[in-house]
Amino acid sequence: MESDKGRAVPLPRDNRQSAIIDATIPLILRHGSAVTSRQIAEASGVAEGTVFRAFGDKESILRASVDRYLDPTTLRRSLAGIDPALPLDEKIRTVLVLLQERFTGVMAMMSAIGHDARPPGGRPEYADIVADVLAPDLARLNVPAARVAPLLRVLAFSTAIPKFVAVDPISLDELTRFALYGLAGEPKSSADAGAPDPFDAASARG
């Protein structure tokens, strides 16, 4: 933005901080905490002095950037944007993709900046969001809708760890089918449907 005299109009402090954070996040993922204030300034298109006036010191910039990156708001918004009218398999696939992307990003940040970079704790609100998305499919679910997201979370987390899938990769289609049908699928007959669950029997025996 320019004034009538052709000089750049300074951004408000909050906007300047936000722009610097956006420029800093990719640098952290690439260089970790070793990123320099000069690199941040160059990526932000401002002088180093402007960077320090906006944040005070480099540690404050890094902390604000990590907090922005790990904020779950974007994930929640994306999950809430899934159309409940979509076929169940498409919804499950999309949830898995979003959760995998989330875990991949969190692990990348933890690797870059250290284990202090952890997402906020507390009750995972995404579980309620996913339950709402699956509301039209309640009759097809074998578990309560509120349990779907935690179960998908386990699948997404394990397949987002490169070491776990490096030797024998698992495709997203395979993961989606497994989430929907498990290993055995639905009972083949009414007789099978009424048979006792062997895992429950084993649990009863201790």
Is residue 61 within 8 A of residue 40, CB to CB? The reply is yes
pLDDT over 80 at 44, yes or no: yes
Is residue 2 within 8 A of residue 9, CB to CB? The reply is yes
What gap in Å lies between CA 42 and CA 192, rounded to an integer? 66
What gap in Å lies between CA 192 and CA 155, rounded to an integer? 27
Q: Please write the tens of the pLDDT for every residue from 112-150.
A: 887 565 555 545 588 999 999 999 999 999 899 999 999
Q: Is 97 exposed, middle or buried (0-12, 13-18, 19+ CB in 10 A)?
A: middle
Distance of alpha carbon 80 from its chain centroid, rounded?
Answer: 13
Is residue 38 within 8 A of residue 24, CB to CB? The reply is no
Mean pLDDT of 99-105: 92
Distances (CA, A) of 161 to 126, 154, 169, 170, 205: 21, 11, 11, 11, 35
Report domain extents, the chain. 13-69, 71-185
Three-state SS annotation for the chain: CECCCCCECCCCHHHHHHHHHHHHHHHHHHHHHHCCHHHHHHHHCCCHHHHHHHHCCHHHHHHHHHHHHHCCHHHHHHHHCCCCCCCHHHHHHHHHHHHHHHHHHHHHHHHHHCCCCCCCCCCCCHHHHHHHHCHHHHHHCCCCHHHHHHHHHHHHHHHCCHHHHCCCCCCHHHHHHHHHHCCCCCCCCHHHHHCCCHHHHHHHHC
Q: What's the pTM?
A: 0.74
pLDDT over 70 at 68, yes or no: yes
Nearest Cα neighbor of 65 from 121, 114, 108, 117 is 117
Q: What percent of the chain has pLDDT over 90?
A: 56
Is domain 13-69 classified as CATH 3.40.50.300?
A: no
Nearest Cα neighbor of 140 from 78, 80, 197, 91 is 91
Q: Please write the tens of the pLDDT for every residue from 1-29.
A: 444 444 444 667 778 899 999 999 999 99
Give the model's confidence band at 192: pLDDT under 50 very low, under 70 low, under 90 confident, else very high.
very low
